[in-house]
Structures are given as structure tokens and as C-alpha cells.
């Protein structure tokens, strides 16, 4: 069975619904089984074993995700993002279970890769690139990746970015609220990344589990067996928060989700002070996951439209 940890969060809820829809055998826990307590984690797994259930996969969506708040709450953030995943990884190793854990594009804070001499363009980050986190949250996620990989060889660490979905506070839902309340909003135009619909990421995880469980795929398209380690998954394409906000506005207006005009203006990060600097560029290369599990990754605009249509229902 699959043990889904953090099943009440934004990504956890999407996964929970998808596991149920696909008929997968799973159980979910959230705060009631504290990931910072090795004893609580082990007792839960033992309880399942006593009922004849073997945990074959653990998927961890729990964590500390408040980027600015983390600056004043470093101890809690590190307990949740470093010690917690480390505890789960150690238990997964003991149980002989495979472990999927999530990390972030923010592990890449400062761009230090080559820039194309002809176009001046940066290149998306590869899984093996050196990390350069800025701030407590980003550093805790990077250290969490390291702790997980140290504690079990059977770990898949999926880095994702700019996640939004139906079941949590996120950029898209915040924009929709502000656009309905205000006549003008300013959005930063000097940070580049890739929006990701949590539903698409959940779908990729189901496909990844399937690819590992059924390594010999006789039907086309042929695929490799995904190997342990770090993977990147985001929606395809990249944009700035400003262009993302404009796309949200245009689509939401077309769909009637917004009933009034709102001017969306560009601003720079300097105009929008926050406790911690976000990366100027954190686009992730997705070649590895694309090749190993042969998935088609939807373009961010396409997924945004699907998500807004879902909200409309």
C-alpha cells in the first residue's frame, strides 16, 4: 500500500483524490502523525503491519511551506523540512518501502550557469546543478533533500515550482481574490519560473509509481525504469509572476470568474519588499522525468485554463 503523508495540504489533497480515482491502495495521514516524531511514524507503520498491510511506497507532501514566515521560525521550519523527511526516509529504508519526497526550485537562488552569448538567455537548471538556496525555507528544502538521500537509497526527490491548485492558498487564488477586490494590482516582473498545477504533478507521480511497479512496458511509448534520485517536474514553458497574473486575469475574465475590470501593472522586486529574496530565475529542466517515464508535460497556459474551468464548475 501507499502511505500518503500530508494528505490535507494542497498537493496531498490532489494526490489523495487521484489515488482514489485510480483505485490505488493507499492510506493518508497529516498532522495527527507528526513527521518530526520517529516514534509516531513507526507506530503508524506497525499498526498497518498488524492489520496485514505492507507499506510499499511513502509519498511525503507534509512540510513547512511559508517562505517569509520561515525567516522568524527557522527551528520549526528545519524540524519539518529537514528532520521530518529524514525520519520518514529512515523508516522507509527500515520498511523496505520506496519514498517520494518533494522539494523546490528555490534550492536554486542565484543563477551561476552560462548565459547564451547570442540571445543572453539563461538555461534551465539540471538536477545535478549546484544548489544556491537563499533564506531559511530554501536552505531547509535543500538540506531535506540531502538528508533524505543519505537515509535511504530508494528515494525519489521531485523538485517543483510555483504550485497552485484547488485545495490551498496559492498565487492563482490570491490573484483572483485581489482582482475582484481592487481596481489595480502590481505584480513583480523580474522573477522567471514555471507555474505548476498540483493536479498535473499528482498525475505525474501516479505515472512514476506505475513506471517503477511495471518496469517492462511492452506497449509504446517505450520507457526506462525510473531510477532513484532527484527529478524536476513543473508545467512546461516559463514566465514571470506579472505575465502569469495577466494570463490569470484574461482567462478568468473570459470565463466570467471575474466580474469587474482590474488593471494588472508590472513592478520590480525592489518595489515589493519581502523578508527573503526570491530567485530571479528558477526554471527547471525536465528532460529526466520526460525521458524516464515518457510523460507529456502540459504547457502552463493550457493547465491554467483547465484549472480555471474547474473552478468555474
Ligand X SMILES: NC(=O)c1ccc[n+]([C@@H]2O[C@H](COP(=O)([O-])OP(=O)(O)OC[C@H]3O[C@@H](n4cnc5c(N)ncnc54)[C@H](OP(=O)(O)O)[C@@H]3O)[C@@H](O)[C@H]2O)c1
**Is 147:86 a contact under the CB 8 Å cutoff?**
yes
Binding flag, residue 63, ligand X (CB under 6 A): yes
Residues of this chain, 94-133, that bind ligand X according to CB under 6 A: 102, 104
What residue is closest to ligand X based on CB?
Answer: 9
Nearer to ligand X, 8 or 69 (CB): 8
Task: Give the Cα separation of 289 and 33 in Å (integer).
Answer: 30
CA distance linking residue 125 with residue 48, whole number of Å: 40
Given the complex with ligand X, which of 12 and 124 has the nearer CB atom?
12
Backbone angles phi, psi at 244, to 5 degrees: -65, -45
Contact 205, 156 (CB under 8 A): no
The reply on whether position 195 binds ligand X by CB under 6 A is no
CB of 188 to ligand X, least distance (A): 15
Q: Does 87 contact ligand X by CB under 6 A?
A: no
Contact segment (CB under 6 A) with ligand X among 155-163, 178-186, 217-225, 251-259 equals 155-163
Shortest distance (Å) from residue 221 CB to ligand X? 28
**65 sits near ligand X (criterion: CB under 6 A):** yes
- Side-chain-side CA neighbours of residue 195 (13 Å): 23
Percentages helix, strand, coil for the chain, rounded to the nearest 5? 45, 20, 40
Give the separation between CA 167 and CA 71, rounded to whole angstroms: 25
Number of residues that bind ligand X (CB under 6 A): 24
Which of 2, 3, 4, 9 forms a contact with ligand X (CB under 6 A)? 9
For residue 17, the number of C-alpha atoms closer than 13 Å in the C-beta half-sphere is: 15
Taking the complex as a whole, how short is the minimal distance between the CB of residue 198 and ligand X, in angstroms?
7
- Residue from 2, 41, 59, 61 touching ligand X (CB under 6 A): that is 61
Write the binding mask 235 to 274 for ligand X: x where contact by CB under 6 A, - elsewhere.
Answer: ----------------------------------------
DSSP code for 7:
T
Pattern of binders to ligand X over 10-49, x per CB under 6 A? xxx-----------------xx--xxx-------------
∠ CA 117-118-124, nearest 5°, is 70
C-alpha–C-alpha distance, residues 120 and 95, integer Å? 49
> By the criterion CB under 6 A, which residues form the site for ligand X?
6, 8-12, 30-31, 34-36, 61-63, 65, 80, 102, 104, 141, 160-163, 168
Amino acid at each position: 500500500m501507499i502511505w500518503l503523508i500530508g494528505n490535507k495540504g494542497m498537493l496531498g489533497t490532489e494526490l489523495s483524490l487521484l489515488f482514489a480515482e485510480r483505485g490505488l491502495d493507499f492510506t493518508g495521514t497529516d498532522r495527527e502523525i507528526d513527521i518530526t516524531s520517529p516514534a509516531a511514524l513507526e507506530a503508524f507503520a506497525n499498526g498497518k503491519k498488524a492489520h496485514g498491510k505492507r507499506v510499499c511506497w511513502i509519498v511525503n507532501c507534509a512540510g513547512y511551506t511559508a517562505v517569509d514566515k520561515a525567516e522568524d521560525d527557522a527551528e520549526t521550519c528545519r524540524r519539518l523540512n529537514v528532520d521530518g523527511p529524514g525520519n520518514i526516509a529512515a523508516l522507509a529504508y527500515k520498511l523496505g518501502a520506496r519514498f517520494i519526497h518533494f522539494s523546490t526550485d528555490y534550492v536554486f537562488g542565484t543563477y551561476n550557469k552560462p548565459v547564451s552569448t547570442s540571445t543572453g538567455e539563461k538555461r534551465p537548471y539540471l538536477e545535478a546543478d549546484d544548489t544556491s538556496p537563499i533564506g531559511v525555507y530554501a536552505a531547509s528544502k535543500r538540506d531535506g533533500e540531502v538528508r533524505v538521500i543519505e537515509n535511504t537509497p530508494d528515494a525519489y526527490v521531485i523538485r517543483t515550482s510555483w504550485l497552485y491548485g484547488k485545495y490551498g492558498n496559492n498565487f492563482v487564488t490570491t490573484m483572483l481574490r485581489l482582482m475582484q477586490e481592487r481596481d489595480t494590482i502590481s505584480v513583480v516582473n523580474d522573477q522567471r519560473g514555471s507555474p505548476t498545477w498540483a493536479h498535473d504533478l499528482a498525475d505525474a507521480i501516479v505515472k512514476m509509481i506505475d513506471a517503477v511497479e511495471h518496469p517492462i512496458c511492452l506497449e509504446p511509448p517505450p520507457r526506462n525504469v525510473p531510477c532513484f534520485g532527484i527529478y524536476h517536474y513543473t508545467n512546461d514553458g516559463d514566465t514571470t509572476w506579472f505575465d502569469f497574473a495577466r494570463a490569470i486575469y484574461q482567462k478568468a475574465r473570459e470565463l466570467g470568474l471575474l466580474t469587474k475590470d482590474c488593471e494588472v501593472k508590472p513592478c520590480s522586486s525592489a518595489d515589493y519588499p519581502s523578508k527573503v529574496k526570491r530567485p530571479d530565475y528558477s526554471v527547471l529542466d525536465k528532460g529526466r522525468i520526460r525521458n524516464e517515464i515518457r510523460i507529456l508535460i502540459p504547457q502552463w497556459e493550457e493547465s491554467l485554463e483547465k484549472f480555471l474551468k474547474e473552478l468555474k464548475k
